[in-house]
Chains A and B, each alone.
Chain A
Amino acid sequence: MARTVIPFGPQHPVLPEPVHLDLVIEDEKVVEARPSIGFIHRGLEKLAEKKDYNEFLFVAERICGICSAIHGQTYCQAVETLMNVSVPPRAVYLRTIWGELSRIHSHLLWLGLMADGMGFENLFMHSWRIRERVLNIIEATTGARVIFGVCKVGGVRRDIEPDAIPGILAELDSIEKDMRDVTKVFLNDKSVKARLCGVGVVSKQEAWDLGAVGPMLRASGVAQDMRTLGYAAFSDIPVVPITRTEGDCYARCAVRCEELFQSVEIIRQAFNRIPPGEIAIKVTGNPAGETITRTEQPRGEVVYHLKANGTKHLQRFRVRTPTFANLPVMLKILPGCDLADVPMIVLTIDPCISCTER
């Protein structure tokens, strides 16, 4: 059988960001996938040597446009660990609330892209219509739509006024209702199922061995969620990881659909328990020491490795983003699939290439 090499990307209708794959095709089956990344490497890790640790927060938040809130939060947590700062409880709750709002908007964005990828334009529009309502809540509380810019070392920059909370909760209820309608289509529609069920199956062992994280790992039956580590307000609000056992594209889609409602529930609980008080404390001095901080982003576990030597610049700032960890799994499941299924498989890892290359 003759082999053909088909380039996939860096520009492709399903790819929001540039990644390139050389697909070796035999008939209609992929036999090998060779990745090539590095189109949008911006050298952000190197930039840590030029910006002081407070200014670098703005860079850390811009590693990625979609998981920005949790990047900012993780960076602050890591620096606070280095400086032995304990953040006021109200700030911790606010960070949790914003983090979960960002998870909802990220998952809705992904669901939309997924629908778009399989040619279900109507569903795509509806996912993004709901996402817009989430973004409105975010803009009203933080002042920006996707790059929140509310975290700072020692706390948060803004407070959510107590009289604004009932309005937000009412809006969330209505968003939840809308999300039920849309996720029902994702989970039950015959054409969606035909496109996703049994495509790109990863077994539990394979996913673990290849270092998969986030929904990718949970869809294969491993109950791993960094929120169970109890960072931020998750020490008071327990999180039970949502898992599926099938390990196919449909399972990954279902995990993300269910996480939407989990996040809504977390936000409700956080608003119920949010303590009054300060939202930030003054931080003086420079960080020193080393820390590895892990949090759960919409796409999975993110690892921040910070080394500081007592100057205002960090000695080393290193981020391992969830997509980077999920790429090996993607390369593992591509061989053997149909060419037409490649876009679906690439999309279900929720590729965030800016994150990956920093």
Chain B
Amino acid sequence: MSPDAIDIVPLEALLERVKEKRDRGCRLVQISAARLPEGVEVTYSFDLKNRLSNVRVLLPDDGTRLPSISAIFGCAVLYENEIQDLFGVGIDGLALDFKGKFYRTTVRFPFGSTKAPAPPPAPPAATAAAGPPQNTN
């Protein structure tokens, strides 16, 4: 897949874009998040007739919340809970919110958190330690 099949949209346009995909009869393939120095990048992949198309938004590290697409694609719930638990991204309007109990990790938010002060530009391995106070249970 060439990277130009990735459509970068502003956060406000996300739901509209996803709705459009849904209306065209696409299947939600995956939602994946990646931590970049400037924030969390969330990629939504859709499939139609074996062709992959992607929609991408960038969440800055200032505690911006992500709107849930679970009202459009019901199966997005699991992916969004996963992103919430691993990346510490707040998600609005989840159809089924596990409230951080989907993954039981010893390190809370292993990939860092958007709610914390922006992680220092350190090697990626150190970002885990830059998360908020660690969960002790």
Contact = CB atoms under 8 A, between A and B. Distances in A.
Q: Answer whether A and B touch in the complex at a CB cut-off of 8 Å.
A: yes
Interface of A: 36-39, 41, 43, 45-46, 49-50, 81, 208-211, 224, 226, 228-229, 289-294, 301, 303, 305, 307, 313, 315-316, 318, 320, 324-325, 327-329, 332, 357
A38 B30 contact: no
Contacts of A313: 124
B124 A292 contact: no
Interface in B41-83: 43, 45, 50, 52, 54, 73-75, 77-79
A329 B75 CA distance: 8
Nearest to A42: B105
B28 A43 contact: no
A232 B50 CA distance: 16
Contacts of A81: 1
Contacts of A357: 103
A46 B111 contact: yes
A231 to B, nearest CB: 11
Interface in B82-137: 86, 98, 101-105, 110-111, 124-125, 128
Interface of B: 1, 3, 6, 25, 27-30, 32-35, 43, 45, 50, 52, 54, 73-75, 77-79, 86, 98, 101-105, 110-111, 124-125, 128
Which one of A46, A329, A357 has the highest number of Cβ atoms from chain B below 10 Å of its Cβ? A46
A290 to B, nearest CB: 5
A328 B77 contact: yes
A293 B27 contact: no
A292 B74 contact: no
A229 B98 CA distance: 36
Nearest to B35: A316
Given A228-B50, A292-B52, A303-B45, A38 B78 contact: no
Given A290-B3, A328-B78, A320 B125 contact: no
Nearest to A222: B27
Nearest to A207: B27
B103 A38 contact: yes
Nearest to B123: A49
Contacts of A303: 29-30, 45
Contacts of A39: 104
B28 A211 contact: yes
A112 B113 CA distance: 43
Nearest to B29: A303
Given A37-B102, A292-B45, A307-B34, A301 B75 contact: no
Given A290-B3, A316-B35, A324-B78, A43 B29 contact: no
A329 B34 CA distance: 26
A220 to B, nearest CB: 12
Contacts of A325: 29-30, 75
A211 B1 contact: no
A289 B3 contact: yes
Nearest to A39: B104
